[in-house]
Structure formats: C-alpha cells, structure tokens
A and B are shown apart, each in its own frame.
Chain A
Amino acid sequence: MIVADRKPLDEILESIKDYKKIMLMACGGCVTICFSGGTKAAELLASQIKMAREKDGDPIEIIECTPERQCEFEFIDVYKDKLKDVEAVLSIACGVGVQTMNEHFEDSITLPGLNTKFMGYPVEHALWEERCAGCGDCELQWTGGICPIARCAKKLLNGPCGGSSNGVCEVDKDISCVWQVIYDRLVKLDKLDNLTVVREPKDWRTSTSAGQRKIKFEEAML
C-alpha cells in the first residue's frame, strides 16, 4: 500500500494562510490504514489548524470529509457542490489523491497535507517499510522475493557492497542490508546459484527514466 506522512503543521499553515474557509479532505484508502490521512487524522489536523489560527486572531472554518478513495472520480464527485462554498481544499491523501482532485475540479485548488513516501507493508503494528520502488521490471523471481531496487541504498543488482556489516546497511544502522536478507533467504531456499550469475545493467526506461508511464488495459476499455 501507499504510505504517507503528515507535513509539518507550520508548512500546512503557510500553504493555507490566505484562506478563511477550506475543505479538509481525508481518504479512506491506504492513508487511513497508515494513520496519516483517515477521518481521525483529519479531526486532529482540523483542530490543530483552528487553534493555531485562533491564536493568531485569524480564525478559519473547516469542512471535513472522507471519500472512500480520493483517487477515484465516483467517490469525489459527491463533494462537487460543497467545493463551491470553500476557497481551497487541503487533502490528506497521497499525491495521487491530491492530483485527482486538482485535475478533476479545475476551478478549485487542492493543497497537499501529506508527504507521500513509498509503497510498503506493515512490519509490525504502526511500522511500515518500503518494499516496492515501482521500477516496472520486477526482479523478485530470482531474489527470493526480496527487492534490492527498493531496499538497497545503492540499488545494486550484484550486491552486497563492502559496507554490509552484521546484517546492517552502512547508510543507517536501522536498515537491514537487503543483500544479507537476500543471501539468507536463498541459502534457506537452496537457490544460491541465483547469485552466481552476473546480473546485467537494468533498463531504467521501465522506471521513471523515460517520462510518465501509462498502462492501458485494452479488454476493459469502454
């Protein structure tokens, strides 16, 4: 899922400083699960904003709402009329949600309240780690299902580098060396041969190197 983190309050306040009435739009998808952008997060953020603005003698009115997913028209269309009553929308969805709002409702402006971080999974309750970089050419078939592109600081395909020590990455003691993880996994699966092949340079065109990517599913086109 997409994992996001809230922007600092001061940055949010700065971005909405010109408005007296806004809509704070949460999202019922990924960001609800990672606590940054659900109904509860919206309630908390709204009260923080109101308090700050009252303190400054510049009160603000906030309408809160939570579409099931901010990245789909059918869920955001129901707020179309309400948008006319506000000067701006503050979104606490991922970057896709923010952009869906801006493109779909050309006459209004939607500002980001979150920093979208990565595609990850919950390692434990309330802790997410990056797992997929969306490189567009999945390598997991030979790595024991563990991604070196998303998890290696140097994106090595022929790792590990000389900085792998006691299972830890040289970049940060809190990050596991993914190549140690891959090695251990392949030993366990008796597939260490996968690592004796010299892996060729990656064609990064499938990633973000060749401009915006698109996927068209012909069979489902209307």
Chain B
Amino acid sequence: MKAGSTLEKVLTAGEFAVTAELGPPANANADAIKKKAKHCAGVVDAANVTDNQTAVVRMSSIAASAIAIQSGVEPVAQMVCRDRNRIAMQSDLLGAAALGVKNILCLAGDHQTFGNHPGAKGVYDLDSLQLVSMVKKMRDDKVFLNGEPIKEHEPKFFIGAVENPFADPFEFRVFRLAKKITAGADFIQTQCIFDMPRFERWMKLVVDRGLHEKTYIMGGITPVRSHRALIYMKNNVAGMSIPDELITRMEGAKDPKEEGVKIALETIEQIRNIKGVSGLHLMPIGWESITETILEKAGLLPRPKV
C-alpha cells in the first residue's frame, strides 16, 4: 500500500471503484460540507473535494477534506497549480497528510480568467505533471522538491491526476498520460464522457500501450437534468465533446431527469465493459442528491468492504 486509503484498497483489490465530487461552499459553513457528505457517505469509496473549482473562491479543499473525514467520507483532496507555488504546495501537502487526507488529485486548474477574480495573478510555478512528481518524491524518496530529506512523517498520498480524452491533440493525449504515469500518477480520473466512440478509441490506445496496467483509470460520468445543461457545456466548456444525438435525446425526453439518469446508467454499463477501466468518477454538477440512486441502479451498492 502506498497510502492505505480506501480508494487505493478498492482499486488494488480489483473492485470497480467509485468516487464522486464534493464541492466546498463559498462561505465558512462546515455544515454545508456535512450535508453534502451525506450523499456520499457509504455509497462512494472516496469523494473529490474540489480546489476553488472554475477559479471561483470557495472554502479550502484541505479544510473541507478534514470536515469530510469527520463526516465519514474519505476525501480525494484536489490541488491545483493555479494558486500556489512549490513552497505553499508542499506546506499544504504536509498539512493535508497531518489532517488524515490520503488521496490527492493534482491538476493545473481552471484558468483564473474564468473565475470570479479574473484579475488575479496566476501562479503556475509547477505544472500538473511536476506536481504529481513532487508528491511522489515526498512519499517515496522522502525528500522535498529541493532534495532535502523529510526526516520522519513523510506525507503518504495515493496520487491522482486527470486526463481529458476529448481534448486535442487527440493522438498526443495518450503520450501525455504515459508521462503522468511516469511522473507518479497512481490513478487517473477522466473528463466527463458523453462521446463514447472517442472514449473507446482513447482507451484502446491506452490498453495498446499497456498503460491500464500501470495506473487505474476511472471514467468521468456526469448525469444531466436537461438538454440545456448539455448545450451549455458544449458551448462553454473547452475540451468537451457532446454529440448532438445526445442533446436531441434529452430534448425529446418526457421526463428529462429520468432520461438523464438512464443515459448515465448506460454510460456506466458501457465503460464497465471497456478493457482497462477500473472505476468511475461521478460528477453530478449541482445534482448531488442523485448519487445514491444512480449507484444503486447501476448495481454498484453496497460498496465493497476492504
């Protein structure tokens, strides 16, 4: 075991792992985390606690992760490169580990110009690959980025990274995934899958290179409640591939919520049958209450005891 988190145990046991997303509030209300954690407790292996997602100021992902632990949910603390330099990052990694966080997800972060402080200075001292590599170095080599030893109590994280099979250049995405694995990514969560043919093509390249044996790949699933949500994502979120047929299907649905769940379940079924996919990451943006229903219907409950 690298960190001994539940997520790590589930994945190494060969079980199909499930993570969800837990967004901290834009205030100092601990109860908001506890309330959201109720949708996750016992139904997912771990929950991603986002780090100022979409560059909008929210409660610190590490503080919110600590509250999630108190609420019985294992966090995957997200850490973006946008807001901290290597000094702050290492400091926060020590703090997160001390608070009991065992999973970390390393990302570049949504660019600050998209958020609610567009005039902020972006840091980007390290990029996401370099962050992955630094977390691994602290865990495995017991040294800081500068090579100085961490004398004892080195932070031990199960290290995650993200990959977007729907971004360009398509042919290079798998090369970059391989780089992330070399840097130290133990698991990978993907961008939301709506374009199944493209995801399948990407997974084939992953499997052809044997990368699924070097990391655990978790497919991103986003249930939507209306066709408008799909149109919004198609037009406003870079690197999203949303087929028009899907929009038409949602638009024509008598009960769009029910159809949204149905589509999510079909997607889950499809990815479970793709070689090399080890789990799913559920991102029900603004619809966290649907988490349990979807996982129940997908036959993914109860979660394995590891």
Q: Do A and B come from one complex?
A: yes
Chain B 123-144 against A: per-residue CB contact (8 Å), 1 yes, 0 no? Answer: 0111111100110000000000
Task: Give A202's nearest chain B residue, CB to CB.
Answer: B125
Chain A 127-155 against B: per-residue CB contact (8 Å), 1 yes, 0 no? Answer: 00000000000000000000000000111
Which residues of the partner chain A approach B182 to less than 8 Å between Cβ atoms?
Answer: 198
B164 shortest CB reach to chain A, Å: 3
- Of the four ranges (under 10, 10 to 19, 20 to 34, 35 or more), the interface on chain B belongs to 35 or more
B13 interface hit (Cβ, 8 Å): no
Whether the pair A158, B179 counts as a contact (CB closer than 8 A) is: yes
Whether the pair A183, B167 counts as a contact (CB closer than 8 A) is: no
Whether the pair B179, A198 counts as a contact (CB closer than 8 A) is: yes
A96 interface hit (Cβ, 8 Å): no
B163 interface hit (Cβ, 8 Å): yes
A106 interface hit (Cβ, 8 Å): no
Task: Give B126's nearest chain A residue, CB to CB.
Answer: A201
A182 shortest CB reach to chain B, Å: 10
Which of chain B's residues 92-135 have a Cβ closer than 8 Å to chain A? 108-109, 111, 113-114, 122, 124-130, 133-134
B163 shortest CB reach to chain A, Å: 7
B302 interface hit (Cβ, 8 Å): no
Whether the pair A162, B130 counts as a contact (CB closer than 8 A) is: no
A200 interface hit (Cβ, 8 Å): yes
Whether the pair B167, A158 counts as a contact (CB closer than 8 A) is: no
Which residues of the partner chain B approach A200 to less than 8 Å between Cβ atoms?
Answer: 130
A156 interface hit (Cβ, 8 Å): yes
A interface, CB within 8 angstroms of B: 153-168, 170-171, 177, 180, 183-184, 192, 195-196, 198-201, 204
B interface, CB within 8 angstroms of A: 81-82, 86, 108-109, 111, 113-114, 122, 124-130, 133-134, 145, 162-164, 167-169, 172, 175-176, 178-179, 182-183, 191, 238-239
Q: A161-B167, A195-B172, A198-B179 are in contact. List 16 more A-B contacts (CB 8 A).
A: A155-B127, A156-B124, A157-B130, A158-B127, A160-B167, A162-B162, A163-B111, A163-B164, A170-B114, A170-B238, A183-B172, A198-B130, A201-B86, A201-B125, A201-B145, A204-B125
